[in-house]
Amino acid sequence: MIQTENIAGYTDTLTAPVDTTSFMTDSIAAAAAPVAEAAVPQTLSFWDLCVQGGVLMIPIALLLLFSIYFFIERWIVISRANRHDPNFMRRIKDYIVEGEIESAQNLCRNTATPNSRLISKGISRIGRPMNDVLVAIENTGNIEIATLSKGLPWLATTAAGAPMLGFLGTVIGMVQAFYNIAAQGSSADIATFSGGIYTALVTTVAGLVVGVVALFAYNILVARINNVMTSLETRTMEFMDLLNEPAQ
């Protein structure tokens, strides 16, 4: 009789309805929870990215500040040097024809541009052989161009050196990453390796950015200095023609 009751109870247990839907839902939710937490992207600020680059980010940042400052400073100086007074040469011609050499020199001093200093040197050599006048003017022009070009080699060095510093930081970071992987042995994972790589590449990105900025700044300044040089050559020819006019 007891055996019959046990069999009946077991049969009731088998025939009882099981809520499989809720069980599967709870299981899927429990399994998806850590996946959802792991899928949340981590945000990285610009400052954190720079800090990850290490000590070499300091000289790279200093080179960037130097490039920006030097470019602005030279741009202002060259812009002032490239000013043109359309009446300047006409007034110089009038003074020389009238014999007012001192007035011509005063005009050059008041104008205070590379062109005026070039003409002033030529006026101070009036009466000497034409070749001596031309040599004096050319020497003055070379001095003016050298003054405008002051510091350009440093900017060119920055354009070439900043990427090299970035590559150096990357190599050092890669060495450290592989060392950490070797130190962890079999417990090393992909997170350790990938973290070391992106940290090492930060300096390369920074160095290339600074190098590109310095390269563009250098070429822009060189182009503007070439414009000033062309202007000086034009003024030299005009002045030499002016000196030859009374002899014709």
Average the pLDDT over 149-178 and give the result.
Answer: 88
In order, the DSSP letters of 25-40 are HHHHHHHHHHHHHHTS
Structure tokens at 185: 């042995």
Domain annotation covers residue 61:
yes
For 108-148, what is each residue's pLDDT tens digit?
888 888 888 998 898 888 888 888 888 889 899 999 999 99
**CA 135: distance to chain centroid?**
39
Domain annotation covers residue 6:
no
Total of domains in the chain: 1
Domain span at residue 237 reads: 46-244
Q: What distance in Å separates the CA atoms of residue 59 and residue 62, rounded to the nearest whole number? A: 5
Q: Is 59 exposed, middle or buried (0-12, 13-18, 19+ CB in 10 A)?
A: middle
pTM of the model: 0.72
Domain annotation covers residue 165:
yes
Domain annotation covers residue 164:
yes
Domain annotation covers residue 37:
no
Domain annotation covers residue 11:
no
Q: What distance in Å separates the CA atoms of residue 5 and residue 106, rounded to the nearest whole number? A: 130
Domain annotation covers residue 24:
no
Structure tokens at 120: 């002033």
Inform me whether the pLDDT recorded for 10 exceeds 60: no
Lowest mean pLDDT among 17-21, 143-147, 192-196: 17-21
Sign of CA dihedral 229, 149, 119, 139: negative
Domain annotation covers residue 143:
yes
Number of residues that make up the chain: 248
